[in-house]
Amino acid sequence: MILLAGCSGDQGAPDPTPSGSATQPTPTPTTGTSTPVPTTTPSTPPRTSTTPPSTTPPPTPTTSAPGRRVFRYPAAWPFTSEARAADWQRSYRSGGHQPWHLDAAETALAFTQGFLGFKDIKLITSRSIRGDEAHVGVGYQIDTGRKFTAAVVHLARIGQGKDAPWQVVGTRDTDLSLTAPRYGATAGSPLTAGGRITGVDEAIRIEVRQASTSAPLGTLCCVPAGGERTPWSGRVTYRGATDPVLLVVASAGGHNADIERFAITAVRRS
């Protein structure tokens, strides 16, 4: 899995849904079909003015027939395959192991804080759940009490049964977009990551990651950027990839918080 992280985050905006600009109320684990939750519009950081179109693919229904769920995305995080997700289901059914996998918002925060290491991203700012698809806003709060969304994390349920866990599959990009490499493409090292950004004096950090490893496989810091929907790009070398899917993470920050916006895309290891 390849993650791109930069110095100025993927989505700055106040309180809405997962992608965690996360104002974090305690989520209620979901064990059956998710019910849509009304979404609030996240606040936009003071320096952001234009929101580029989303670069993540539109949600694809994951259930093709009654009782049979079909997972149509690269398996990015936390499970590297449906078989791994089934292993967790067995451990959950026998001993209640890691129940947070059943909650889309908790999974989004676990990904942001625990896996990416973005410790200031503590809030769930929005959430929208429709069947097997979820979009969760994650973010942060500044001293004045104002809340911002750093990214909207796209999740989908993987595996079979009412206790199928949530899987991170991408982000819904706004004023920091990550359009290269293309979502789901095969990418080797070195790879060129790029997109567009709106902001002033930005520095974009790029990381390549995989679910089975805590540390990045490769990092580039940082790509200077700024302007109104200005193109940015950087070339990063990585090594040690073993998972079939890698995450590319782009992040930026340093104005109100260390990480104010981030975006991710998933690619297949070559």
Q: Please report, for the domain that includes residue 248, its CATH number.
A: 2.60.40.10
Yes or no: say if 265 and 248 are a contact pair by the CB < 8 Å rule.
Answer: yes
Q: Quick: pLDDT tens for 206-255.
A: 999 999 999 999 999 999 999 999 999 999 999 999 999 999 999 999 88
In a domain, residue 11? The reply is: no
> Would you give the end-to-end CA distance of the chain in angstroms?
11
Q: Is 8 buried (19+), middle (13-18) or exposed (0-12) by CB count in 10 A?
A: buried
**105-116 pLDDT per residue, tens:** 999 999 999 999
Asked if 7 and 222 touch (Cβ cutoff 8 Å), the reply is: yes
pLDDT tens string 50-82: 333 344 444 444 444 446 899 999 999 999 999
pLDDT at 256: 87
Q: Give a yes or no: residue 13 inside a domain.
A: no
* Structural domain contains residue 63: no
- Look at residue 169 and tell me if it is in a domain: yes
pLDDT tens readout for residues 179-205:
999 999 999 999 999 999 999 999 999
Q: Kindly provide the residue ranges of all beta strands, DSSP E only, lying in the chain, ordered along the sequence.
A: 19-20, 63-65, 68-69, 123-130, 133-141, 147-149, 152-157, 166-172, 186-187, 191-209, 218-236, 245-252, 261-269
- Which tokens in the block code for residue 257? 């918080």
Q: Does 192 fall in a domain?
A: yes
Q: Residue 3 domain-assigned? A: no
Domain enclosing residue 137, as ranges: 19-24+43-56+70-269
Q: Domain for residue 157, yes or no?
A: yes
Q: For residues 60 and 132, what is the distance between their CA atoms, to the nearest angstrom?
A: 9
The answer as to whether 244 is a domain residue is yes
What domain count does the chain have?
A: 1
Opening angle at CA 113, ends 97 and 160, nearest 5: 40
